Amino acid sequence: MIRRKLLFIWIIAFVSFFPVFGDEGMWIPMLIEKLNIQEMQEKGLKLSAEDIYSVNKASMKDAVMIFGGGCTAELISAEGLLLTNHHCGYRSIQKHSTVEHDYLTNGFWAMSHKEELPNPGLKVTFLKWMEDVTGKSLEGINSGMSEKEREERISENNQKIITEAVNNSHFSAHIEPFFAGNQYFLFVEEVFRDVRFVGAPPSSIGKFGGDTDNWMWPRHTGDFSLFRIYANKNNEPAEFSPDNVPYEPVKFFPISLKGIHPDDFTMVFGYPGSTYEYVPSYHIKMLTKEVYPKLIDIRDKKLELMNADMSADPKVRIQYSSKYASVSNSWKRWIGEINGLDKLDAIAKKQAFENGFMAWVASDPASQKKYGTLLPDYRNVYNDLGRYRLARDYINEVFFRNGAELVSFSSKFANLIDLVENEDSPEKVSSAASQLISLTEGFFKDYNLSTDKKLFVALMKKCGENMPAEFQPSVFINIHSKFNDDYGKYMESVYKKTSFFNEDFLLEILNNPVKSKLKKLKNDPVFQIFESADDLMKGKIYPEYSRLSLELKSLNRKYMAAQMEYQKDKIFYSDANFTLRLSYGSVKGYIPKDAVNFKYYTTLKGIIEKDNPQIYDYDVPDKLKELYKSGDFGQYAENGEMHVCFIATNHTTGGNSGSPVVNAEGQLVGVNFDRAWEGVMSDLMFNPDQCRNISLDIRYVLFLIDKFAGAGYLLDEMDLVE
């Protein structure tokens, strides 16, 4: 009877977890010849593995890049023109925007190379090649090492590998762990730092639907922006210079005018950020029951306060638009993840798999010796990890991550204060002060004192009420005792005494950073709040969180290896880690709930139906309405309709924003920008019935450039395929 029960459990786990569902997976491009190319070709792909990734000839990988620090972009012309999402270029667009020149509201289009706008600090990164260096990375590693010793040895090994790979060239390199540290890959890259803003539609197109429509389908967002890479006369990376010329790539994407249709092959090629597909049930329980609900609650308050001030003042709307979008993005995703995981009954599914796994472990003495305590060890770690993970995230939310802004801003001065107090070299002091001058000017351009005061009161109150005393910064002792938890009164006391909202005063100090003046900043009540939060993080939260994370890292590596033993016939893909991956699938609608059946595309008609001049995010530009009314869609329409967005079954996540979506011939058909809300839990568990990536139809991009913006000259650079 017992044996039958164990067999039954094992079968459930096998059925639930054995297959990698048809379109699940984020695959390493250099390995697709071995793992995926046959299935991809069976699904319709007409390219070879070497067409996609090659170090010997120009391939698709040479036309894909990291844009900034967290998005993907693709080359679409022989003159270095690149395409990414509007929300990826949003910060650059916002930096160029003022009330007088509001490119967020009105859009921007350079009508010649001379009109393209430089973006200090913006970079794009190309992969030159990747290499499996597992043997070299793990050289000298043995089972008797502690996790810390192991990490130190691997770090030493990797530094040698990187030095040898770069070999005094202008390339850079890094090594990343795969399969929870069971495998290591080297990535050699080329970075370009002269990237200029070429064009973007107004936010009423590029961000149409705003945060209301974010993560949702149907979607009608023209989420794209254009930039251009510049290089020196030798076509090599160079800092910004008027003498630089447009970069000449070895590969760029041809653009299809044929459109997409149900069951068409689609491939997304980009840089997905992070996924956690192989974690135990304890991890999902920690996120959905302990961490996410509290973070959702505090972001509710942030969004409420920001939105009220943005709605009341156009200047504040510009100042806080990027901050609001940043806060809202994860807030809405967390809600979707909880709902999607509940719908999947994810915790129960994970537990069923774990029961089957432990039955397999128990059936073999060797496995029992290696893995017998694995899940109990996990349980012990997660018993404490949830508390420290929440404390870490909550303190960050209040003081450092679009929270109490002056406190976060004051933290930037800590390094300069230390340098001056320790009488470090004048060169270091001068360099730190110069960087702070630029940062200070940028901060006050996007700062509103009234909004910050409201956020300060609300978030400090949340921290005082929702965090246990052990996870409250020391300033709360004073708030509880002297101010009797009157957070408004405490705020007035702090802001009456602080100098951190006085830009002129700060710039005066930074232009002459002497000890006597910086001492005033160190004793400033806002800086003291930062120090109390920083002391809590460094003295209590980080040490314990780091210790638990190190234990977890060891367990994850062991559990990953164990799962690969347990399911030895399964083809595994490694979790995303912001390295180049491809996912493949097909164009397909879905049924989110009873009596609702979503088709695979949206049209301009849907934009007109949503038009509402009273709401900023739904105020359709007059010119777009005129184009719709006249039906002037040019060669970009299909059967009289102007398609806008489409969905497919590709497995994507954050970082895939801006990724090229290509058809079976390798031609660009879309730009990936989001996931459907019902499927955002795909970072933790993939549901083939609900997980859909949302992409912008490339024909809508071309229509907007040509007919709406009148920048058709840009299309002359492109290779349009009918």
Do residues 561 and 371 touch, judged by C-beta distance below 8 A? no
In order of 291, 369, 585, 618, the CA distances from 376 in angstroms are 22, 14, 38, 52
Question: What's phi and psi for 342, nearest 5 deg?
Answer: -65, -45
- Indicate the angle between helix axes 525-536 and 374-399, nearest 10 degrees: 180
Catalytic residue among 204, 583, 657, 659: 657
For residue 711 the two structure tokens come to 């920048």
Which whole-number Å values give the CA distances from 46 to 28, 370, 669, in the listed order?
19, 45, 15
Q: How far apart are CA 410 and CA 427, in angstroms?
A: 22
In sequence order, which ranges of 411-448 are alpha helices (DSSP H)? 414-421, 426-445
Q: Which of 219, 322, 316 is nearest to 603 (CA)?
A: 219
3-state SS string over 63-85? HEEEECCCEEEEECCCCCEEEEC
Measure the CA–CA gap between 574 and 588, rounded to whole angstroms. 25
First and final CA of the chain: distance in angstroms?
65
Q: Catalytic one among 86, 87, 283, 643?
A: 87
Indicate if the alpha-carbon torsion angle 715, 717, 721, 722 is positive or negative.
positive
The first and second tokens of residue 162, run together, are: 């990187």
Going by their DSSP bridges, the two strands 660-662 and 596-598 should be labelled as: unpaired
* Beta-carbon contacts of residue 344 (< 8 Å; ≥ 6 apart): 681, 685, 687
Give the C-alpha separation, 75 to 77, whole Å: 6
Sign of CA dihedral 520, 525, 531, 535: positive
CB-side neighbour CA atoms (13 Å) of 425: 3
**Block residue for tokens 């297959």:** 19
Q: Which of 62, 102, 223, 534 is catalytic?
A: 223
Q: Strands 255-256, 720-721: parallel, antiparallel or unpaired by DSSP?
A: parallel
DSSP category for residue 564: H
Taking the C-alpha atoms of residue 83 and residue 120, their distance in angstroms, rounded to an integer, is 19
The angle at the Cα of 564, spanning 558 to 565, to the nearest 5 degrees, equals 90
Look up 223 and say whether it is catalytic: yes
Phi, psi of 661, rounded to the nearest 5 degrees: -110, 120
Question: Can you say whether the dihedral through the CA atoms of 624, 625, 630, 635 is positive or negative?
Answer: positive
Taking the CB of residue 5, how many other CB atoms lie within 10 A of it?
Answer: 11
% helix, strand, coil for the chain, step of 5: 55, 15, 30
Residue with tokens 């549901």: 687
Residue 8: what are its φ and ψ, rounded to 5°?
Answer: -65, -45
Cα separation, 181 vs 478, in Å, equals: 45
Do 307 and 324 contact (CB within 8 A), yes or no?
yes
Please indicate whether residue 169 is annotated as part of the active site: no
- Strand-pairing partners, residue 306, are none
At how many degrees (to 10) do helices 449-466 and 292-312 cross?
160
Give the whole-angstrom CA distance, residue 254 versus residue 378.
Answer: 49
**What is the C-alpha to C-alpha distance for residues 476 and 529, in angstroms, rounded to an integer?**
9
What are the catalytic residues? 87, 223, 657
